[in-house]
A = this chain, B = another copy of it.
Amino acid sequence: MPRNGLIDPRIGFIGIGLMGLPLCRRLLDADFALTVWNRHPDKCEPLLMLGAQQAASPATLVEGVDIIFLCVSDTAAVEQIVCGRDGLLTALQPGQIIIDLSSIDPAVTRQLAGLVQEKDAHWIDAPVSGGVMGAESGTLVIMAGGDADIIDRARPVLGALSQRVTHMGPSGAGQVTKICNQLIVAANAVLIAEAVALAEKAGVDAAKLAPALAGGFADSKPFQLLAPRMSARTFTPVQWRVQTLLKDLDMATALAQHCQSATPLAQAAAGLMREHAEQGHMSDDLSSLITLFAGEKPSC
């Protein structure tokens, strides 16, 4: 097939979800030749109209590309795509690079990187932070682990996704960094709920907290997103579901146990968030955490 106007390397992308779709659009916009695969094939259709090819399986996707991105939901999904029937390992060639954008267990990351290395291919863990908006606007934070030379070789492609790529250390270091990021986000959300509830009960107009404290030392993107929704008792999911951040806190405490590192506040936050999820808020927005500490919105 002629590759008129397309630039090397050729890219494969597995996982066309909320994040994968805008990231693939960015790769096509940058004139990379793109082959995609998704468990539910119809999710690929918007990309085929933009010039992407569709592969029948991860194994067939591998055959025509240089770099393979993974962007799927969890550790089990990555393992299935790599090691399962018609998985990447059945067709992987020396020199190919797998870049895993998914957020998964760093220990599994190191195992998979080892299996890939046995085939003289390469694994980069590159989980992201910044959500769908970051994926669309090219402002994702990308935390990369693996061989610095391989990351440098992939930089022209990663650069189409975001300019914010940092090499954090050896294989798994990207996943560890993402876990530390989520530890702060999730536990800080509980702190924000405590502060908003306290402000309300002590007579403050909590709707004014986000504008009043903007740019100060208590401020953060989660504070600006969550404090107004907590104050208004708006719990429809926008940025984060309780179950997602609970999973993240569980990963953080598991990693902390494994590394013999104390994380007392994160562990307490995980306990509070599990209690909250069990009270029926599993699928609610993280803003629903306010109900742990305050009841109905005050009418005055």
Q: Report which A residues bind B (CB closer than 8 A).
A: 106, 129-131, 139, 141, 143, 164, 166-170, 172-173, 176-177, 179-185, 187-188, 190-192, 194-199, 201-205, 208-209, 211-223, 252, 255-256, 258-266, 268-269, 272, 292-294
Contact = CB atoms under 8 A, between A and B. Distances in A.
A220 B217 CA distance: 7
B218 A184 contact: yes
A92 to B, nearest CB: 25
A103 to B, nearest CB: 13
A204 B255 contact: no
B264 A215 contact: no
A213 B263 contact: no
Contacts of A169: 203-205
A262 B293 contact: yes
Given A141-B214, A219-B220, 5 more contacts: A143-B212, A177-B199, A177-B213, A217-B220, A262-B292
Contact of A212 (B177, B252, B259): B177
B194 A263 contact: yes
B166 A212 contact: yes
A185 to B, nearest CB: 5
26 contacts: A143-B212, A164-B212, A164-B214, A164-B215, A168-B204, A172-B203, A173-B204, A180-B195, A180-B198, A182-B218, A183-B194, A184-B195, A187-B265, A188-B188, A191-B191, A191-B266, A194-B256, A194-B262, A197-B261, A197-B262, A198-B255, A201-B259, A201-B260, A216-B221, A217-B221, A264-B272
B181 A216 contact: yes
A86 B188 CA distance: 46
Given A173-B205, A202-B261, A216-B129, A191 B188 contact: yes
Contacts of A214: 141, 164
Contact of A293 (B191, B263, B293): B263
A183 B215 CA distance: 16
Give me the 6 closest cross-chain CB pairs, A-B, nearest first: A166-B212, A184-B218, A180-B195, A141-B216, A201-B259, A176-B202
Given A168-B208, A217-B129, A187 B176 contact: no
Contacts of A184: 188, 191-192, 195, 218, 223
Nearest to A272: B264
A204 B176 contact: yes
A191 B180 CA distance: 10
A198 B259 CA distance: 7
Nearest to A263: B194
A297 to B, nearest CB: 15
Contacts of A255: 198, 202
